[in-house]
Amino acid sequence: MKAILYIGHGTRSKTGVQEITAFLERVIKRLDAPIQEISFLELTEPSIEEGFRRCVEKGASEITVVPLFLLAAGHIKQDIPFALASLCERYPFVHVAVMNPFGIQGRIMDAVAELVRTSAGNVRPTDRLLLVGRGSSDPGIQADFSKIREGLRERLGMKAVSVCYLAAAQPCLQEGLDTILEKAAGTVMVVPYLLFPGLLSAEVNLEVQKRVKQGRQILVTEPLCHHRVIEDVVVERAAGFRVSQAVLREGKN
């Protein structure tokens, strides 16, 4: 029997957990799969181990793992494979395939541009945009954000599009905000490149509000999960419409 195991990052934010759960409930309703379980890498229950076990207990012989991650960094390359490896050893009769993270997609950049226009209305060439990433020491992440920055610049017709990070890379959020505000003639739009609201998006909003109180005109876009395209991407991966990253284990009877 086929199963789908969704893996989210996890958060200590109750609002974040509620958003993730509601999002996945919508996804689950769109898929005709007999077994679908939600799990988290860290900070939130159920764990990957618990989610996997629930799939097996319900009779799963094939599990499609769908990581809810935008880009491929340490969690995708190391942490999730490590967690799944021991489970594959424990349940050798289960065939496990892991789907890719979302990656850089034109339709996701289209969705981000739409979120910007929804927040700002008319976007002018003199406006500025700050793209805020989670951050990673993986050099590939910064290369990915350079591509996303250029994609948003083209879609929005804006000259000033910058990137900053919440951790593990530079420039940091505070520096990114202060730099983009230095010569801002129009509105500054901040795009948290995060799937769901949580403590990280709260950190972004806190720093923005400090500067709004100083009289600066700054808008923050909604989380990416609020756009239908993100839901579509997850549904497609869960249904196997995209090539999987890896087959971890061919089930052995």
Digit-coded pLDDT (tens) for 166-215: 999 999 999 999 999 998 888 999 999 999 999 999 999 999 999 999 99
Whether 242 shows a pLDDT value over 60: the answer reads no
Q: Average the pLDDT over 93-103 and give the result.
A: 95
Structure token digits, residue 218:
């700054």
Longest dimension (CA), the chain: 67
Among 241, 235, 252, 250, residue whose Cα is nearest residue 36: 235
Count CB-CB contacts under 10 A for residue 152: 22
Q: What percent of the chain stands above pLDDT 70?
A: 95
Please check whether residue 104 is in contact with residue 123, taking contact to mean a CB–CB distance below 8 angstroms.
no
pLDDT number for residue 211: 96
pLDDT number for residue 243: 44
Digit-coded pLDDT (tens) for 8-50: 999 999 999 999 999 999 999 999 999 999 999 999 999 999 9
CB neighbour list of residue 66: distance below 8 Å, 6 or more residues apart: 4, 5, 6, 7, 99, 234, 237, 238
pLDDT band at 148 (very low <50, low <70, confident <90, very high): very high
Please check whether residue 83 is in contact with residue 48, taking contact to mean a CB–CB distance below 8 angstroms.
yes
pTM strictly above 0.85: yes
Digit-coded pLDDT (tens) for 52-71: 999 999 999 999 999 999 99
Distance between CA atoms of residues 220 and 224, nearest Å: 12
Q: Which residues pair with 63 in a beta bridge?
A: 3, 96
Domains and CATH numbers, the chain: 2-102+227-249 (3.40.50.1400), 106-224 (3.40.50.1400)
**Angle between the N-to-C axes of helices 139-156 and 106-120, in degrees from 0 to 180, rounded to the nearest 10:** 60
